[in-house]
Amino acid sequence: ANTNVETFQTMAAGAKLYGVEQDKLADILKDTSDKVGDFLATGGGAMADYFENVAPLVGQTAEEFKNLSGDQALQKYVDGLEAANLSQSEMTFYMEAIASDATNLLPLLADNGKELERMGDAVDKFGGALNEVEVEQLKEVKRSMTESSIVMKNLINKIMAKFAPVITAISKKFTEMSDSSFEFGD
């Protein structure tokens, strides 16, 4: 996604409110970085329309996007679209040009990211985003729990296999007993 872990978590919390899951958000941010890089390298690609038609209207240059992270580039892009006072259909055109479903993020990024900032404050209020060390620790815990789960499942299966004849015999006896109990009721 070309952004830091804390920023990504804040964006993911806000994006979810607008129907964009974190994997899709990561794709949007990656696509943003990729398309900016494509334009800087070739002068073409999906960002060409923006840098030829919108950026000059609002005083932006491609060079300003050069060292921005994915989230920063996307925010600058939205800020430029807003400053150009485009219609909703034009905004949608440019947002979808940068990444599929990017239009869904407009409410989060509008007004210089006011809603994103509000989400960041809410995340901070309730303990803040996890840092990179904490994220790595959680990955390790999940990996360990997955391994433990596999070992336990295999152990249970082996025990069940060893006791299969006994369990099968008991099950048959219960079935026989159940069948004969119907006659007992009569």
pLDDT tens-place string over residues 67-117: 999 999 999 999 999 999 999 999 999 999 999 899 999 999 999 999 888
Which pLDDT belongs to residue 12? 87
Indicate whether 8 pLDDT > 80: yes
The DSSP code sequence of 127-162 is T----HHHHHHHHHHHHHHHHHHHHHHHHHHHHHHH
Closest to 50 measured CA to CA, from 95, 9, 6, 1? 95
- Residue 28 makes CB contacts below 8 A (sequence gap 6+) with 20, 74, 98, 99, 100, 101, 102, 105
Which pLDDT belongs to residue 104? 94
Which pLDDT belongs to residue 69? 93
**Euclidean distance between CA atoms 122 and 127, whole angstroms:** 9
Which pLDDT belongs to residue 186? 54
**Helix residue ranges, H only, the chain:** 5-17, 22-42, 48-49, 55-58, 70-83, 88-98, 106-125, 132-162, 164-185
How much of the chain exceeds pLDDT 90, in percent?
Answer: 50
Which tops the pLDDT comparison, 127 or 34?
34
Indicate whether 163 pLDDT > 80: yes
Tokens of residue 120, six digits: 């960041």
Instruction: Say if pTM beats, i.e. exceeds, 0.85.
Output: no
CB atoms within 10 A of CB 35: 21
Rg (CA), the chain: 28
Contact between 69 and 11 under an 8 Å Cβ cutoff? The reply is no
Which pLDDT belongs to residue 7? 82
Indicate whether 57 pLDDT > 90: yes
